[in-house]
Structure 1
Amino acid sequence: MDNARPVPLAIFLIIAGVVGWIAAFALTLDKFIQLENPDAKLGCDFNILVGCSTNLASEQGAVFGFPNPIIGLTCWVVPVVIGVALLAGARFPRWFWLALWAGFLFGACLVAWFITQSIYVISSLCPWCMLTWSMMIPSFLAVTFHVLRLGAFGRGTRARSVGSALIGWTPLITLVIFVLIAVLAQLRLDVIAHIF
């Protein structure tokens, strides 16, 4: 495995973890307000289409039996700690990178499910949720490409070459995914008409 310190990845993981954690914290506070007063208008409720209340009150808002923001409060600490450890010079074994990738894969699948539920079932876009999505998607891509580049999926040079080639394209791939989500939301919910 490559022993070069991945400074850009480390910095990005810290930033993504902090931003994701802030979004989860804000959602947690909003959930407390909603529990105290189910009719309360939350600060992130902008209109009938864009707001947190509907998502937080939905079945999907507690997919594992407790409010989803608790997942974010717990999980977004992990990339911050790993990013700091990498900056401090930590070297992790193959199994660690594979476990981290599996965690991000689970998070990315969960986010993909939340996106489809928000657009096609709940018909509401939660701003704090979208901020979380916007951190999870590039985080998953960056970790995936880094793990490929390290050769953690196997010793073949092809995977390493693919990872090395794609890691620089993470921002563009992320942007394409964001545009795709925006188009799906527009086609299903007519977001622009509700904003103006």
Structure 2
Amino acid sequence: MKRPVTNFRTPWSGIRRHHLHNAVPFAQAREEIVALLEGKVVVGHSVYNDFEVLNLDHPGHMVRDTSSARLLSRLAGFPRGRCLSLKLLASKLLSRTIQVRAGRRGHCSVEDAQAALDLYKLVEGEWEQEMERRLRDDEDDGSAPHEPGHSSSDHYMQDEFWPDEVLADAL
């Protein structure tokens, strides 16, 4: 069902009314995103919000959400269970200032994605070991099968949809 956008949430999304004039229809965009994400590990910050908007149920063992990562929270010295902002984590753990130009223009999605990936890389080995342990425990008690974890995050940057300058910076 097609519904009008009532709040563009520009300070976070960067989207304004004129961006939707020739936009890909939601159903088509969702279909393309579902196809793109199939079988892939998704690394991001608060990605559950994106999944909810897309009405997408990506397998939990294929999501690395830095907003709820206990490993990052512990590394940053914050109390357990606290959901941390990407801006705060990037500042504390990466010594990087992000989202400073956000204001009325909104966050830069590429800057946010790079920060989330770099945060993930800080604890990648431990995170993947924990995921493998959880998945083995789930298999032992009859839970759904899973795909194997990845030992290196290099493959996350090999995506045709990343801008060339982002890929160049990653190499």
TM-score, length-scaled by structure 1:
0.28
Which fold has the larger relative contact order, with Cα–Cα distance below 8 Å and residues 6 or more apart in sequence? 1
